[in-house]
C-alpha cells in the first residue's frame, strides 16, 4: 500500500517537474521573469513548421537524366550542399534543405529537393538565389602593399568592434585578401577523391581542360609559395574560400592535387563543391511553392494552442462530472500525458504543424478512451459486489485486451499515414502515432498507480457514490 502511495507521489512530482521544464523552456510563458533552469530548458524549443512560423517552402525536381545511375546519390548530395551553403548565406534561422526520393512504388524514381526557409517571405529573392548556377572562382593573393593595407584596415575594424564604435567597413576589407583571376569553374574538367598510395591520406585531385591548364600554369608560375583561394558562390554571400592550398611549384599539365590534413568526409565535401562549378544535375524545376506570412502563422499557432487548452478543459470537466473520483484521477493522468507529449516534441525535435497539433488534440480525446474502458469495466465488477481494489484489478486486466487491440490498429494507421507522408501528413501521423503509444502507457500505468494509492476500499456508501457514474449511485 505505502509502496503504491510513494510511487503515486513520485509520478505526480515527475509530472509536475516535466510541466515546469516546459514552462521554463518557453520564455513567452513567463514573460520578463527569468526562472531557474531556463538556460538549460531553452535548448529545447518547440520546432514549428512553416505553416505556423511563416516562411517559404520550395520543392524542386532535379533532372538527373545525364547522371550515371550509380552517381545520382553523389550528385544530389553535392546539390544539397551547394544549395544549403547559399541558404545559410541568406541568413535564415534553421533552414531545411532535404533530398526526397519520390516514387519507386507509385511511379519512376524522381529526385526532389525540398527547401524550407522559415521567416523568409521574399520568394523572388529566394528562388533567384537557389536557381543560379554555382560559381567557382580561383583567386590569387594580392600584392604585399595591398595585403598590408587589408590587414591594417581589418585590425582597425576589429578594434572598433570591440570598442563598440559604429562600424564603417572600408572597401579594402570588402574586396578581401584575394584578387580575381580569369580562372573559374568552367575550366575545371573534374575533381576526384583519391588516397595517397603510402600514407592512405585523402587527396583531392583536380583536372583542368586545355584552356584551363594554360591559365592554371600561369597562375601557379606567378604564385609559387603563395596560396590560391578557391571560392564558391562568393557573390551570393559566402566570404570564406572552400579551400586555399599553397602552390608548391608551377603546375603545367593541368593536373593538380590538394593535400592536407582533412578527413575523408571533408575531402569528399570539397570534391563535391569543386565539381559543382556547374550544377551537378542537368536542371532544377520548381514544382511547387508555398508561402505563409508570419502573422498568419502566428495566428494559426495561437488558435491551435487555444483549441488544445479548451479541449483539455472540457474533457476534464466531463470526466470529473461523469466518472467522479476515477474521473478526477484520469484528469491527472491526462495532464501527465500532455506534459510528456510536449516534452517529447521538444526532445525528439518533432516539427509541429497545424495538422500535427490537430493530431495531438485528437490523441487527447483517444487517450481518455483507455480510462473510460477501464472505469466501465471496474463499475461492472463493483456491481458484482467486489471491493474497490479487487474491482480495479479485474477492470484493468479485462480492459487490457480491448485497449491493446484497438490501439494497435491506430498505430497501423499512423504508420501508413507516415509513409504516405508529405511533410503535412507526416506531422499529423507522428503526433497521432506517438500520442497513441504514450497514452497507452499513461492511461494504464499512471491511472493504475494513482487509483490504487487512494484510501478507499470496501463497498460502503462513500465508495459507491465516488465510483458511480453519470446520474447514478452504484447499488
Partner 1 sequence: MFIVKYRKIFFTISIITIALSFFAMATKGFNAGIDFKGGSIIEVSYDKRPDVETLTKALEKAGFEGARVQMAGESDVMVKTRALSEVERQNLSSTLAIKGLQMEEKQFSSIGPTIGKELRSKAWYAIILVILGIVLFIAYAFRHVSEPISSWKYGMITTATLLHDIIVPAGVFVWLGKEVDVLFIVALLSIMGVSVHDTIVVFDRIRENLRLKVSNDFATTVGTSLRQTFTRSINTSLTVMIVLATLFFFGPASTKDFSLILWIGIAVGTYSSVFIASPLLVVLEKRQSR
Segment contacting partner 1 by CB under 8 A, of 5-13, 90-98, 217-225, 409-417: 409-417
133 Rama sector, left if φ>0, alpha if ψ -120 to 50, beta otherwise: beta
293 binds partner 1 (CB under 8 A): yes
Is 273 or 377 the residue whose CB approaches partner 1 more closely? 377
Tell me the C-alpha distance between 212 and 205, whole Å: 15
**Cell 504516405 maps to which residue?**
420
Q: Is there a contact between 228 and 140 (Cβ–Cβ < 8 Å)? A: yes
**Cell 570564406 maps to which residue?**
240
Q: Is there a contact between 76 and 70 (Cβ–Cβ < 8 Å)? A: no
Q: Quote the least distance from Cβ 85 to partner 1, whole Å.
A: 21
Residues 365-394: x where in contact with partner 1 by CB under 8 A, - otherwise, as a string: xx-xx--xx--x---x--------------
The strands making up 136-141's β-sheet, listed across from edge to edge, are 178-184, 136-141, 228-232
Tell me the C-alpha distance between 89 and 280, whole Å: 20
Q: Quote the least distance from Cβ 466 to partner 1, whole Å.
A: 18
Dihedral sign for Cα 355, 359, 364, 368, please: positive
326 binds partner 1 (CB under 8 A): no
Among 14, 154, 284, 287, binds partner 1 (CB under 8 A): 287
300 binds partner 1 (CB under 8 A): yes
Number of residues that bind partner 1 (CB under 8 A): 74
Q: Quote the least distance from Cβ 93 to partner 1, whole Å.
A: 20
Residue 194's CB is within 10 A of a number of other CB atoms, namely 14
Is 140 or 330 the residue whose CB approaches partner 1 more closely? 330
Q: Residue 357's closest CA among 36, 145, 52?
A: 52
What cell numbers appear for 443 in the block? 492511461
Among 25, 61, 213, 431, binds partner 1 (CB under 8 A): 61
Q: Quote the least distance from Cβ 123 to partner 1, whole Å.
A: 7
Q: Quote the least distance from Cβ 41 to partner 1, whole Å.
A: 26
Q: Quote the least distance from Cβ 232 to partner 1, whole Å.
A: 24
Among 14, 149, 343, 424, binds partner 1 (CB under 8 A): 424
Among 23, 46, 262, 322, binds partner 1 (CB under 8 A): 322
Q: Is there a contact between 350 and 441 (Cβ–Cβ < 8 Å)? A: no
User: Where in 87-126 is the site for partner 1 (CB under 8 A)?
Assistant: 102-103, 105-107, 121, 123-124
Phi, psi of 310 (to 5 degrees): -65, -40
Q: Measure Cα distances from 153 to 108, 169, 176, 240 in Å.
A: 57, 9, 11, 18
Among 11, 228, 342, 354, binds partner 1 (CB under 8 A): 354
Q: Measure Cα distances from 272 to 76, 204, 263, 279 in Å.
A: 10, 10, 14, 10
Among 232, 355, 392, 463, binds partner 1 (CB under 8 A): 355
Among 127, 153, 154, 175, binds partner 1 (CB under 8 A): 127
Q: Quote the least distance from Cβ 320 to partner 1, whole Å.
A: 12
Among 93, 239, 405, 455, binds partner 1 (CB under 8 A): 405
201 binds partner 1 (CB under 8 A): no
Amino acid at each position: 500500500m505505502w509502496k503504491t502511495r510513494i510511487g503515486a507521489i513520485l509520478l505526480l512530482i515527475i509530472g509536475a517537474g516535466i510541466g515546469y521544464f516546459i514552462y521554463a523552456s518557453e520564455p513567452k510563458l513567463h514573460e520578463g521573469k527569468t526562472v531557474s533552469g531556463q538556460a538549460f530548458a531553452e535548448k529545447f524549443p518547440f520546432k514549428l513548421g512553416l505553416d505556423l512560423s511563416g516562411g517559404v517552402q520550395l520543392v524542386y525536381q532535379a533532372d538527373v537524366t545525364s547522371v550515371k545511375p550509380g552517381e545520382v546519390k553523389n550528385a544530389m548530395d553535392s546539390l544539397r550542399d551547394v544549395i544549403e551553403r547559399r541558404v545559410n548565406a541568406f541568413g535564415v534561422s534553421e533552414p531545411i534543405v532535404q533530398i526526397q526520393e519520390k516514387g519507386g512504388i507509385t511511379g519512376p524514381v524522381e529526385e526532389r529537393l525540398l527547401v524550407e526557409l522559415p521567416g523568409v517571405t521574399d520568394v523572388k529573392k529566394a528562388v533567384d538565389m537557389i536557381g543560379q548556377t554555382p560559381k567557382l572562382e580561383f583567386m590569387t593573393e594580392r600584392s604585399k602593399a595591398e595585403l598590408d593595407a587589408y590587414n591594417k584596415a581589418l585590425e582597425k575594424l576589429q578594434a572598433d568592434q570591440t570598442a563598440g564604435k559604429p562600424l564603417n567597413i572600408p572597401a579594402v576589407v570588402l574586396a578581401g585578401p584575394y584578387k580575381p583571376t580569369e580562372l573559374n569553374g568552367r575550366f575545371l574538367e573534374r575533381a576526384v577523391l583519391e588516397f595517397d598510395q603510402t600514407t592512405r591520406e585523402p587527396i583531392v585531385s583536380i583536372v583542368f581542360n586545355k584552356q584551363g591548364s594554360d591559365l592554371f600554369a600561369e597562375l601557379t608560375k606567378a604564385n609559387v609559395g603563395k596560396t590560391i583561394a578557391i571560392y564558391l558562390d562568393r557573390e551570393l554571400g559566402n566570404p570564406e574560400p572552400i579551400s586555399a592550398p599553397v602552390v608548391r611549384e608551377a603546375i603545367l599539365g593541368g593536373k593538380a592535387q590538394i593535400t592536407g590534413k582533412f578527413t575523408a568526409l571533408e575531402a569528399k565535401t570539397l570534391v563535391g563543391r569543386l565539381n559543382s562549378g556547374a550544377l551537378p544535375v542537368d536542371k532544377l524545376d520548381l514544382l511547387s511553392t508555398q508561402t505563409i506570412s508570419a502573422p498568419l502563422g502566428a495566428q494559426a499557432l495561437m488558435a491551435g494552442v487555444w483549441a488544445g487548452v479548451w479541449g483539455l478543459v472540457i474533457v476534464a470537466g466531463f470526466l470529473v462530472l461523469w466518472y467522479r473520483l476515477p474521473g478526477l484521477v484520469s484528469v491527472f493522468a491526462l495532464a501527465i500525458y500532455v506534459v510528456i507529449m510536449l516534452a517529447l516534441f521538444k526532445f525528439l525535435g518533432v516539427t509541429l504543424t497545424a495538422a500535427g497539433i490537430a493530431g495531438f488534440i485528437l490523441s487527447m480525446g483517444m487517450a481518455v478512451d483507455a480510462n473510460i474502458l477501464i472505469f466501465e469495466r471496474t463499475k461492472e465488477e463493483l456491481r458484482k459486489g467486489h471491493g474497490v481494489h479487487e474491482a480495479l484489478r479485474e477492470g484493468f486486466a479485462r480492459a487490457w485486451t480491448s485497449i491493446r487491440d484497438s490501439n494497435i490498429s491506430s498505430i497501423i494507421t499512423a504508420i501508413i499515414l507516415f509513409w504516405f507522408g508529405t511533410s503535412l501528413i507526416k506531422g499529423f501521423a507522428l503526433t497521432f502515432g506517438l500520442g497513441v503509444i504514450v497514452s497507452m502507457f499513461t492511461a494504464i500505468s499512471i491511472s493504475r498507480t494513482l487509483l490504487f494509492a487512494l484510501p478507499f476500499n470496501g463497498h460502503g456508501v462513500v465508495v459507491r457514490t465516488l465510483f458511480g457514474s453519470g446520474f447514478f449511485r452504484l447499488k
